[in-house]
Structure 1
Amino acid sequence: MANLRLNALEQLQGRSNGVAVKAPSEKISDYFGCNSFGIDQMKSTLSPDVFKKVTYAIEHGKKVDVETADAVAAAVKNWALPKGITHYTHWFQPLTGATAEKHDTFFDGLSGIEKFKGSALVQQEPDASSFPHGGIRSTFEARGYTAWDPSSPIFILEDTLCIPTIFVSYTGEALDYKAPLLKAIEAVDRAATYVCKYFDRNVSKVNASLGCEQEYFVVDKALYAARPDLVMGGRTVFGHNPARGQQLDDHYFGSIPPRIYTFMKDFEVEALKLGIPVSTRHNEVAPSQFEVAPLFEDLNKATDHNQLLMDIMNRVAEKHELKVLFHEKPFAGLNGNGKHNNWSLITNTGVNLFAPSSSARDNLQFLTFFVNTIKAVYDHADLLRASIASAGNDHRLGANEAPPAIVSVFIGSQLSAVLDELEKNGNVKVEKGDNMYMKLGIDKIPEIILDNTDRNRTSPFAFTGNKFEFRAVGSDANVANPMTALNVIVADQLNAFAKEVDKLIEKGTEKRLAIVNVLRKYIKDSKKIRFEGDGYSEDWVKEAEKRGLSNVKNTPRALDAFLTKKSEEAFLKYNVLSKKELEARHEIMLENYIMKIQIESRVMGDLALNHIIPTAIAYQNKLIHNANGLKGLGIDNKSIVKSIQKISEHIDAVREGVLAMIEERKRINKVENTREKAIAYCDDIKEKYFEKIRYSVDKLELFVDDEDWPLVKYRELLFLR
């Protein structure tokens, strides 16, 4: 193992600054979306009548008829074949967290020509037997179906035409992340459109949009391969902090290292070809940590693009002899990786419903959606916490820059003052027409709200100017899960709001005054969720408890929120997830947690027993030999003896800890109830043994000769490129 580490370091010495990267054109606009069959491609290749049917289906969520599907399939085939494409696949997102695909060739051996019919475009039948299902189907019902999602562009990856689809079981239940997301988007569209008509009758549709910032680490491929824990589990289970980590803050926004820069350019070009509007790149806080961020897109498309972007980054990294780490906490003591979800609602008339304005009417509309979102988060905080729960994110939440497990909302001091004033006094004067204005200590909410762009890094859910930023989402997650939950609860809250307002109007209250009265009540009801201070402080933990806010620190217990009556009613009301589907997802997420912790535990045991302890004993024998030699010369070196004793203590602690952990695993594996087993893996494996074993291993790293140590060290992984 020591040779593996030294060989990896030798390979690193011969690395260049990356492969040459050349964009198809100097202007991004010349090649943006060239590998994506989007609206522009459809318009140029389909007849006007077919194009109209397809766009109608996309805008209204309707099915595409057979004739239209055949026309689209023919156009897609004719577009793809000249690009050297030989196969097609239905690209879907099963509950594994990754994407999946089964490739079929265009070539028909019987006819001797390439064929692609509408039936192949619209539906495929992959074997569903090995995908997580949570008990939805029996073993003999292995069949599953993928169905084309026309609202997300078809794209080319390598030599394959990829068709974004949903994935359902033989009996129709969703087995993926996309199907529920599409239903949640439809629900929030209907609810928000209804509320918008209080202010503008021209609004006929509201689109949920998303800008998804993606954080990641990049390490050399050879160094990565010399760390079995990174290969098996995505994070380092051992590793002493280097003398220099992120404390100088010199990496953040610093000059991008040349080798990483060429990698970034390369994956950006590939992303832009696919129509992914990557816009921002920079160094993040921790050494070897970086971020990429796209422009805002339609939520469904943005979700697909984020999954695709991670795939592209992994593929391109291989060309550059690099590895991308999306795990939420690959290195202890350093910032983790998040995926900041910047979410907003935008009308078909081009109005961002979370953007304050100089217009009094528009500001009341802004306050309506602003307050209702806060109320939704307050009422369903536990569900949002559950939606971002994972084994990886448990390592990150509350550590360094990551938000705590307590869900709170940051809105900035100025908007806090506005809501407080409205709650206390409700000083609203209503006049005819649009001359309604609010006397809130200020004449109107300014167009530019200074404090709202103050990024409170400790807030899980923050308002940042014209959007809400859900910062607690883990970097390895499929954003469809938290975005489904968010859109469902906001849709439910907007419908509840409309019901209360309509009731007041029916009783004779002027419409805008009715709106304000309901908002005042919501501001008061949801005030406990608002927090402007330091989310890391112990004072906030105590304060949150006084407010009655949950602080669920681990995934097995957080996931309970999916099965509460409140959550179940919200999902069922909008046909997003049935009770059976919710129970299945709960089971799948628990199983995933168990397997992740089990893998980490096994990796720790393997490294400790087969690599760390033998190395430490060998080094200890060197010291004993040295001590005996000195003793033969009449020299009694107490420091060497003390080191030998310390090494023995840590070796014993590691061995005893690992063997006890293995026995505990054997006991837990006999537990039949999945929730009980997940909690046992959390409490009796992760919490009881991980840090204890790690402490002694990391101490041994400091004792053992550098040339003998078997694992690539943090200073090498993070600073050698």
Structure 2
Amino acid sequence: MSGYQSRQNAINAVNNYKRTTAPLNFTETPPTEVFGSNVFSEKVMRKMLPKDIFKSIKKTIKHGTKLDPAVADYVAAAMKEWAVSKGATHYTHVFYPLTGLTAEKHDGFLSPDGEGGAIAEFSGKLLIQGEPDASSFPNGGIRTTFEARGYTAWDVTNPAYILENPNGTFLCIPTCFVSWTGEALDKKTPLMRSSQAMNKQAQRILKLFGNDNGELVVSNAGPEQEYFLIDRNFFFSRPDLLVSGRTVFGSKPAKGQEFDDHYFGAIPRRVLSFMMDVEHELYKLGVPIKTRHNEVAPGQFEIAPLYEQSNLATDHNQMVMTTLKTVAKKHGMACLLHEKPFAGINGSGKHLNYSLSTPSLGSLYDPGDTPHENAQFLLVCAATIRAVHKYGKLLRAVVASAGNDHRLGANEAPPAILSVYLGDQLTSILNQIKEGKVSESKCKENLKIGVDTIPPLPRDAGDRNRTSPFAFTGNRFEFRAVGSNMSIAGPQVALNTMVAESLDYCATKIEEITGGDCKKLHDAVEQVIRDIMKEHEAVVFNGDGYSEEWHKEAEKRGLPNLRNSAEALPVLNDPEVIELFTKYEVFTERELDSRREIYLEQYSQTLRTEAAVCIKMGTTQIFPAAVRYQNELAQTCANLKAIGKDSVSLTLDDVTAKLRGLQTSLTELESILAKEDFADALEEAKYLCYTLLPAMGKVREYADALEEVVADDLWPLPSYQEMLFIK
């Protein structure tokens, strides 16, 4: 399909848009009834399980106690009965391998009864453990091809759920995925290990302040998911989007995001219909979606949930990404989750709001009304500041990917330099502690708007800073460097473990100073915070993270600036990172090494795929289209010359020069891509980063220049203008 034809089809699709399903009717079935209707929730378990079994399960979920294997048969029977009542014929252990995607293998409930019929069966043994092939998933050398055994293990802390399909339903059981040797091959297992480590050290801090009531300290997450939507006619006419998720060609449109008129604007009708459909599906799965709106770039949108416990939030975010993609198809659109699908306009992130909490205390990052008197809050914040300063390179490494490299450091995303924004109030308090005199904290005020009919509006004690990669936002920290296409598990594993190490440090220091004498606690806490701020204040920056001055200042402060994945991913094998993760039993050294190897390979494979599609499109689509236009110009020149008129030879010369440049750059790119003899994965990643990417940029330079001059009806690809604005 040519670009011209796909444009016409897309316009027709917009003009003649009709839903493929019946409209949602929330008056008939209110959202409160829809929410969680496909979840094997605590409410369902209480109803279907014997009391003692339910209490045992709840104890494991709420307090982290070991699961009694004896309860599994009861749970399996109830789960099967519930799932079959909802039309399920199969079940699957859902897990999250190191592809970053969701994986599942479906097994049927039905077994022959020996009398020509069948019965539905599902035992506790089948619930607890499954056995998918482990050799065909990324493993970084932990498994070889002939060593295929791997296990899925039931995650009792997250509820099972039903997924619907036009032809039926099936039961999904959240699981961990480990090798035959017990090593983690997934995203969930390290996250659960890191949560255990963080809870153990946080309990020590709470005990110092008399808050040792036995409640689990959990990390919480609220990921704000950004994405693009384009018409599917355009998507299938762009091989680069289809294969790599981003456009490797495309000239800047006459209008981009300069007017800021898309941000929070009225949501287009077809897009709003899509959003409502997405929310309806997610409500059924118990995902607490709260916010929807237009984002900054044209064609870009956001969906955001309420806060949840981190393990559940991670599973839910995977559901969000899957649902966005599947529902978009129903509405004739494609959802793009790549961090930078379009050059020159804002990319997409996934701002990870992070906090620690207990049921009775709430967020440990909540300052209260008098934060300068809230010693526990100040200590936890200081520990977090220390963690980010000490392990800033690790935080950069866990958000490293080929897609996110295009976004980090641009003017819609934080820089690759990890710093902490605290705001005026918290900065002032910590500075007072550092100077040895704490007397006050900046209070909230009312805004003065100057309109009598508007009631007083409270103003927060500090502003926000959207340029900071790690910003304090009132009762949590917002890690803004996470890419839109990523699992949030990796960043949370790093944060949980880093913070655990810092809380361990703080608790140990305070215990040493006080010697068990609670009267010395206040002075000990102040001393520890004072020492932390003196040693780690270099990471605190409240200014403009986009400015060139900050880059120079950060270098003076000794803050690392790892500009791309080839520089960032090797950090996973740094001695201090290995020591961190092995000490708190989150990763073994072999597991860490496997992840470094996997992520470097994925980075290189991504760049090779992009280069291959760049060559194919440049050779078979762009070059022929430009040659046709060159031929038309040549024919016009000849015709004009024959009748003694001025020719268009200057235009012909320009097109010919650009064609020659395209041809030369494509040949060079092919030569670079052909190289495969590398000593290791890191050498290949660096070669592709510093040699292949610039060569791709050169091809794009000529191709985009040709798009500016070739006749519109001859250009084979949908343009940025069409993809971004036709909705």
Q: TM-score range by the shorter chain?
A: over 0.9
Deviation at 1:334, TM superposition (A): 0.7
- 2:565 maps to 555
- Counterpart in the other structure of 1:462: 471
Q: 2:706, 2:44 → 1: CA distance?
A: 60
> Cα distance, 1:646 vs. partner?
1.4
Q: Given the alignment, which residue of 243, 255, 260 partners 1:232?
A: 243
Q: Which amino acid in 2 is paired with 1:134? A: G
Answer whether contact 1:18 1:263 (CA < 8 A) is retained.
Answer: no
1:517 to 515, 527, 530: 527
Matched residue, 2:706? 700
How far apart are the structure 1 equivalents of 2:506 and 2:136? 43
Residues in 1 aligned to 2:381 and 2:712: alpha-carbon distance in whole angstroms: 56
- The structural deviation recorded for 1:85 is 0.8
Equivalent residue runs for 1:486-635 within 5 Å: 486-506=495-515, 510-635=520-645
Which secondary structure does the structure 2 equivalent of 1:553 belong to? coil
Q: CA deviation at 1:650?
A: 1.4
Q: In 2, Cα distance between the equivalents of 1:85 and 1:367? A: 50
Q: Does 1:709 align with 2:715?
A: yes
Matched, 1:280 2:291: yes
CA-to-partner distance for each residue in 1:470-494, whole Å, 9 max, x for gaps?
0000000000001100100000000
Matched, 1:92 2:95: yes
1:53 maps to 2:56 = yes
Against the structure 1 CA distance between its residues 576 and 620, is the aligned structure 2 distance closer, same or farther, given a 3 Å change threshold?
same
Query: Where does residue 688 of structure 2 map in the other structure?
Result: 681
Residue 160 (structure 2) pairs with residue 154 (structure 1): yes
Counterparts of residues 64-83 of structure 1 (less than 5 Å): 64-83=67-86
Counterpart for residue 477 of structure 1: 486
Q: Say if 1:23 and 1:54 are closer, same or farther in 2 by CA, change over 3 A.
A: farther
Distance change >3 Å, CA 359–CA 351, structure 1 → 2: farther
Equivalent position of 1:166 in the other structure: 176
CA distance in structure 1 between the aligned counterparts of 2:441 and 2:629, rounded to whole angstroms: 75
Tell me by how many angstroms 1:349 deviates: 1.3
Q: CA deviation at 1:266?
A: 0.4
Deviation readout 1:366-419 (Å, 9 max, x if unpaired): 111111101100000000000000000001111121111111111112222222
Aligned to 1:678, what secondary structure does the other structure show?
helix
Contact 1:357 1:447 in 2 (8 A): no
Q: CA offsets per residue over residues 220-272 of structure 1, 9 Å max, x none?
A: 11111111110000011111111111110011001000000010000101101
CA shift, 1:6, in A, is 4.8
Q: How far, CA to CA, are the matches of 1:512 and 1:374 in structure 2?
A: 20
1:604, distance to aligned residue in structure 2 (A) = 0.5
**Distance of aligned partners of 1:13 and 1:502 in 2 relative to their CA distance in 1, 3 Å threshold:** closer
CA contact (8 A) 1:413 1:451 kept: no
Contact 1:409 1:461 (C-alpha < 8 Å) held by counterparts: yes
* More divergent stretch after superposition (26-35 vs 444-453): 444-453
d(CA) in 2 for partners of 1:451, 1:592: 43
Alignment of 1:325-474 (within 5 A): 325-358=336-369, 363-424=374-435, 426-427=436-437, 438-439=438-439, 442=440, 454-474=463-483
Contact 2:630 2:652 in 1 (8 A): yes
Deviation, structure 1 residue 443 = 6.0
| Partner Cα distance (1:359, 1:700) in 2 | 62
Partners in 2 of 1:581 and 1:265 — Cα distance? 41
1:671 alignment partner in structure 2? 678
The alpha carbon displacement at 1:504 in A equals 0.5
Is the alpha carbon distance of 1:447 and 1:502 closer, same or farther for their aligned partners in structure 2, counting shifts above 3 Å?
farther
CA distance in 2 between partners of 1:189 and 1:30 (Å): 34
Is contact 2:240-2:613 (8 Å) kept? yes
For the Cα contact (< 8 Å) 2:7–2:233, is it kept in 1? no
What value does the CA root-mean-square deviation take over the aligned residues?
1.8
Q: Separation in 1 of the partners of 2:77 and 2:373? A: 46
Give yes or no for contact 2:96–2:188 (8 Å, CA) kept in 1: yes
SS at match of 1:37: coil
Match of 1:434?
Answer: none
SS of equivalent residue, structure 1 residue 201: coil
SS at match of 2:265: coil
2:302 to 286, 291, 294: 291
Q: Match of 2:670?
A: 662
SS in 2 for 1:263: helix
Deviations 1:119-161 (A, max 9, x none): 1111000012210000012221111100000111101112110
Q: Distance in 1 between the 2:65 and 2:147 partners?
A: 28
Query: Secondary structure of 1:246's match?
Result: coil
Q: Offset at 1:519?
A: 0.3
CA distance in structure 1 between the partners assigned to 2:52 and 2:33 by the alignment: 28
Letter in 2 for 1:35: N
CA shift for structure 1 position 65: 3.2
CA 1:13–1:490 in structure 2 vs 1: closer, same or farther (change >3 Å)?
A: closer
Whether the 8 Å CA contact 1:126–1:145 is kept in 2: the answer is yes
* TM-aligned CA deviation for residue 15 of structure 1: 3.7
2-structure distance, mates of 1:623, 1:4: 23
- Normalising by structure 2, report the TM-score: 0.94
Contact 2:444 2:460 (8 Å CA) reproduced: no
The number of residue pairs the alignment matches comes to 704
Q: 1:190 aligns with which of 196, 200, 211?
A: 200
Structure 2 residue 131 is the aligned partner of structure 1 residue 125: yes
C-alpha separation in 1, matches of 2:19 and 2:465 = 36
Structure 2 distance, partners of 1:696, 1:15, is 37
Moved more, 203-212 or 173-182: 203-212
Match of 1:266 in 2: 277
Q: Which residue of 2 aligns with 1:650?
A: 658
- SS of the counterpart of 1:136? coil
Equivalent residues of 2:444, 2:459 under 8 A apart: no
Post-superposition shift, 1:27? 2.9
Q: SS at 1:86's partner residue?
A: strand
Greater displacement, 7-16 / 221-230: 7-16
Letter in 2 for 1:651: L
**Separation in 2, partners of 1:346, 1:362:** 19
Higher mean Cα deviation, 12-21 or 125-134? 12-21
Question: Percent same amino acid at aligned positions?
Answer: 45
The one-letter amino acid paired with 2:487 is N
Alignment partners' CA distance in 1, 2:90 and 2:240: 35
Give the letter aligned to residue 415 of structure 1.
L
Separation (CA, whole Å) in 2 of partners of 1:8 and 1:528: 55
Unaligned runs of 5+ in 2: 447-457
The answer (yes or no) to whether the contact 1:356–1:445 under 8 Å persists in 2 is: no
> What is the distance in 2 between the residues matched to 1:325 and 1:595?
19
User: Could you say if the C-alpha distance between residues 187 and 262 of structure 1 is closer, same or farther in structure 2, counting changes exceeding 3 Å?
Assistant: same
Please say if residues 428 and 441 of structure 2, whose CA atoms lie closer than 8 Å, have aligned partners that are also in contact.
no
Q: Aligned equivalents of 1:453 and 1:103: distance in 2?
A: 51
Q: Which runs of 5+ in 1 are unaligned?
A: 428-437
User: How far off is 1:350 after superposition?
Assistant: 3.4
TM-score by length of 1: 0.95
Q: CA deviation at 1:10?
A: 5.7
Residue identity in the other structure for 2:271: I
Q: Mark the CA change 1:63 to 1:351 in structure 2 (over 3 Å): closer, same or farther.
A: closer
Question: What residue in structure 2 maps to residue 433 of structure 1?
Answer: none
The corresponding residue for 1:39 is: 42
Partner of 2:449: none
Which letter does structure 2 place at the counterpart of 1:133? N
Name the SS for the 1:36 alignment partner: coil
Over 3 Å counting, the alpha-carbon distance change for 1:110 and 1:453 in structure 2 is farther
CA distance in 2, matches of 1:211, 1:72: 30
1:458 shift after superposition: 1.1
Contact 2:415-2:546 within 8 A present in 1 as well: yes
Counterpart-to-counterpart distance in 2, 1:469 and 1:218: 25
SS in 2 for 1:389: coil
